[in-house]
Amino acid sequence: MEKKSQKHGNSVVKMRDVAALADVSIATVSRYLNGNLDRMSTETANRVADAIDKLNYVPNSAARQMVKKSSGLVAVIAGNIDDFFSTEMFKGINAMLESKGYVGVLFDSNSDLDREKRLMQIVSNQIFDGAILQPYNAVSVIQDTIKRPMPIVIADREIEQSPWPQIVTNNYEIARQATQYYKDKGFKRVIMITSSLTMAANRRDRYYGIQSVINNIDVLEVSEKSYNHKKVLQQLVTLINGSQEDTLIFALKERWLTEFIPRLFYKGLIDDKHVAVTGFSDTGTAQYIDPKTKLISQDPYLIGADSGEVMVNLLEGKKQEPEKIIVPAKFG
Amino acid sequence: MEKKSQKHGNSVVKMRDVAALADVSIATVSRYLNGNLDRMSTETANRVADAIDKLNYVPNSAARQMVKKSSGLVAVIAGNIDDFFSTEMFKGINAMLESKGYVGVLFDSNSDLDREKRLMQIVSNQIFDGAILQPYNAVSVIQDTIKRPMPIVIADREIEQSPWPQIVTNNYEIARQATQYYKDKGFKRVIMITSSLTMAANRRDRYYGIQSVINNIDVLEVSEKSYNHKKVLQQLVTLINGSQEDTLIFALKERWLTEFIPRLFYKGLIDDKHVAVTGFSDTGTAQYIDPKTKLISQDPYLIGADSGEVMVNLLEGKKQEPEKIIVPAKFG
DNA sequence: CTGTTAGCGCATTCAC
DNA sequence: GTGAATGCGCTAACAG
């Protein structure tokens, strides 16, 4: 009485078929599959193995997960997967997770509050064992959205009053440090290039870090999604020429370095004496524009690895304070 | 007899709790959850809704999936999530999937054959309804690895004798076309910069495309994972100066454009008359090095969207030939 | 060492 | 309109 019209995606052969062919009980097959070989004669183990092979049996994970209450899958909701930071962080997360038998899967919130919320909903409705977030939304929103109690780790984007562990960069400190370096060289003014996103914690901290050293800051906001390259370039030139002070161009994001600096450099506007450039650069690509440029590099991979480790601790029930781990960035 | 030490990740409240509170049977709750409201008085529907809300009930997706044999999740195994192409393609996939009620999750094979295989295994052992692959492995490997019958779509990386639908770029044609443009302008020689990966289909097709127009090709292989920037730059300079012919530098990947070209450009080595530059560029960032440069741009988003659409067709049982869809790239 | 059995939480006939 | 009962495929005692 086989249903012929089963939806694509089911293997028809199940444990009892394997058991039958191997002439054992399904319990034995289950044991075999779960690695309890010590409670089994090598001989039967082989028979089971053969049967599995012959029938091309693949376990139904939904059934298994229903009783084990675990899928081994950890959801990662990243801010923007076009961003090297996010993807590199994901690689770090996975390296850690996989060493412990878990697997990370990546979702892309696209830096969109609503979308992030939707994804959190989906994740909390699915069979993920935990979630690592690089969140835009606030604590209260996250709490309201993820109803099912599950381990959560916050990565990169610091949030206030987080009930969950956080792994972040020392944004304030490193921005301060870089700015100080240039101040010591005589720079007295900063043009800060940033995305037009609202004052996310990261951006804010960086801003304050700069400001703690040099107060004279012009902010150039560029819309992440759509902007006129030529126009922004022009604005930048105007800003640069708008003051006699030695000026430091400070990009809060690598993208602005690679997109705007080569032209300025080529035009001779950047000479490292009256106009210098620095910024956050994670890929190292910006370095190739001019090898002499000193940049701030974060360590997204390490941030990911740490997040992964914290998640594993949570999953394995080890004590894990809702602490804040700071992964320092480097300037130089 | 509640187990207190349940692993983190279970919501304790289940359908029968909701049913009890709403004073209905679990069947009714189930119907409510599945949208069968027509078979229910508005009054009871409200009671159920209230109960769900009050108890903060969230359905157990593993249980549901076990009986429905569907999770609504589609796995996407991308070649390298550091690559704009992969991530943009994923965005396209998701746009399509989500419009049909599915959700895509991203895995990163890291351009590693074994890792890709492991991921395919994991995916086929989990509850994904289908898989979209940007594969390195050959058909036979994929078939051996993904044992469970499930819808599969191949994106971007063409494979021979594919039993599955493929969505790819016109690599050969567009490379030919771009080369022709420069040949018409008098260029007689090509320096091709490429990753040192084995002759993947994409790379091969692009190479043949160039070759069909200009036969004099120097290939500069750069290891994707680790290479000495300075040294490669030097090699490039040497190659350029190694011939009197007007030379076209052709980068098969945007990365090589953004990493090496700015320096060459700054050094005055690229003048568009004796030495010109072109290549595959998906992000458009390379454009900013020199606005006059003509580049080849693929449409990863569209490739993704098409892949997503094909996948949905497969999932919904619509007839879908194992055809090859070609999404043309643009030069200019 | 191996088999029997009782759920896991939900969707779905089939009755009423 | 609603409920009772059955089974999805598998794991984990509990026996033997």
Tens of pLDDT, residue by residue over B156-205, are 999 988 999 999 999 999 999 999 999 999 999 999 999 876 667 888 99
**Residue A165 zone, left/alpha/beta (φ > 0; ψ -120 to 50; rest):** beta
pLDDT of residue A268: 80
pLDDT of residue B247: 93
A37 and A100 together in one domain? no
B260·A59 Cβ contact <8 A: no
Q: Measuring CA to CA, which residue among B248, B227, B327, B242 is closest to residue B295?
A: B248
A130 and A104 together in one domain? yes
Phi, psi values for residue B19, rounded to 5°:
-55, -45
Measured in angstroms, the CA of A212 and the nearest CA of chain B are apart by 33
Mean pLDDT in residue range A216-222: 92
* pLDDT by 10s per residue, chain B, length 332: 233 333 343 447 889 999 999 999 999 999 999 888 887 888 899 999 999 999 989 899 999 999 998 999 999 999 889 888 999 999 999 999 999 999 999 999 988 899 999 999 999 999 999 999 999 999 999 999 998 889 999 999 999 889 999 999 999 999 999 999 999 999 999 999 998 766 678 889 999 999 999 999 999 998 877 778 888 889 888 998 888 889 999 999 888 888 888 888 877 888 878 899 999 998 877 887 777 889 999 999 999 999 999 999 999 888 777 789 999 999 98
Q: For position A27, which CATH number holds?
A: 1.10.260.40
Domain for residue A273, yes or no?
A: yes
pLDDT of A4 strictly over 50: no
The B residues from 248 to 267 touching A (CB cutoff 8 Å) are 255, 258-260, 262-263, 265-266
B127 and B56 together in one domain? no
Q: Identify the weakest region by mean pLDDT among A128-137, A238-247, B11-20.
A: B11-20
Number of domains, chain A? 3
Phi, psi values for residue B219, rounded to 5°:
-105, 125
Structure tokens at B88: 């943009």
B159 and B307 together in one domain? yes
**Residue-wise burial string across B205-232, b where 16 or more C-beta atoms lie within 10 A, e elsewhere:** bbbebbbebbeeebebebebeeeeeeeb
Q: Please tell me which residue, B291 or A116, carries the higher pLDDT value.
A: A116
- Which of the listed residues A48, A67, A86 is the one where a domain comes to its end? A67
B82·A82 Cβ contact <8 A: no
Q: Which residue is nearest to nucleotide C5 (CA to C1')?
A: A27
CA distance A10 to A33: 19
pLDDT of residue A291: 79
Q: Which of B63, B148, B259 sits opposite A285 (nearest CB)?
A: B259
pLDDT of residue B31: 92
Q: Which of A8, A11, A315 sits opposite B317 (nearest CB)?
A: A8
Mean pLDDT in residue range A233-253: 90
Domain for residue B254, yes or no?
A: yes
Task: Judge if the beta carbon of A31 is closer than 7 A to nucleic acid strand C.
Answer: yes
B288·A263 Cβ contact <8 A: yes
B286 close to B279: Cβ distance less than 8 angstroms: yes
CA distance B10 to B13: 9
- DSSP-assigned letter for residue A86: H
Mean pLDDT in residue range A237-249: 90
Show the 3-state SS of B155-175.
Answer: ECCCCCCCCCCEEEECHHHHH
Q: Which of B84, B105, B127 sits opposite A62 (nearest CB)?
A: B127
Q: Which of A61, A66, A69 sits opposite B9 (nearest CB)?
A: A69
A58 and A113 together in one domain? no
Confidence band for A197, pLDDT divided at 50, 70 and 90? low
Measured in angstroms, the CA of B202 and the nearest CA of chain A are apart by 22
pLDDT of residue A103: 94
**Residue-wise burial string across B141-154, b where 16 or more C-beta atoms lie within 10 A, e elsewhere:** ebeebbebebbbbb
CA distance A116 to B74: 18
Tens digit of each residue's pLDDT (9 = 90 or more) over A44-103? 899 999 999 999 898 999 999 999 989 999 999 998 898 889 999 999 999 999 999 999
B192 and B150 together in one domain? no
Task: Judge if the beta carbon of B34 is closer than 7 A to nucleic acid strand C.
Answer: yes
B262 and B281 together in one domain? yes
pLDDT of residue A160: 85
Angle ∠(B220,B222,B224) on CA atoms, nearest 5: 155
CA distance A253 to A259: 11
Domain for residue A2, yes or no?
A: no
Coil/strand/helix, residue A139: helix
Phi, psi values for residue B189, rounded to 5°:
-150, 145
Domain for residue B2, yes or no?
A: no
pLDDT of A5 strictly over 50: no
The A residues from 46 to 85 touching B (CB cutoff 8 Å) are 56, 58-63, 65-66, 69-71, 73, 75, 81-82, 84
Domain for residue A332, yes or no?
A: no
Domain for residue A107, yes or no?
A: yes
Domain for residue A1, yes or no?
A: no
B190 and B82 together in one domain? no
- Which of the listed residues A38, A67, A96 is the one where a domain comes to its end? A67
The nucleotide whose C1' lies nearest the CA of B6 is C8
Chain A 24-53 residues whose Cβ is under 7 Å from strand D: 26-27, 30, 33-34
Coil/strand/helix, residue B310: helix
In this structure, the strands spanning A296-297 and A330-331 are antiparallel
A159 and A224 together in one domain? no
Strand D positions with any atom < 7 Å from protein CB? 1-5, 7-13
- Which of the listed residues B33, B49, B67 is the one where a domain comes to its end? B67
pLDDT of residue B9: 39
A150·B82 Cβ contact <8 A: no
A145 touches chain B (CB under 8 A): no
Please name the helix (run of DSSP H) or strand (run of DSSP E) that holds residue B118, with its range, or none: helix B113-125
Domain for residue B1, yes or no?
A: no
B222 and B177 together in one domain? yes
pLDDT of residue A198: 64
B232 close to B260: Cβ distance less than 8 angstroms: yes
Q: For position A216, which CATH number holds?
A: 3.40.50.2300
**CA→C1' distance for B26 and C13 (Å):** 15
**CA→C1' distance for A27 and D12 (Å):** 9
B147·A56 Cβ contact <8 A: yes
CA distance A45 to A26: 13
Mutate to test the interface with A, among B10, B11, B56, B66 (most CBs of A within 10 A): B66
A182 and A85 together in one domain? no
**CA→C1' distance for A82 and C15 (Å):** 56
- Report the amino acid identity of residue A202: N
Domain containing B223 equals: 171-297
pLDDT of residue A2: 32
A179 and A279 together in one domain? yes
pTM metric for this prediction: 0.90
User: Residues of A with CB below 8 A from B149's CB?
Assistant: 8-11
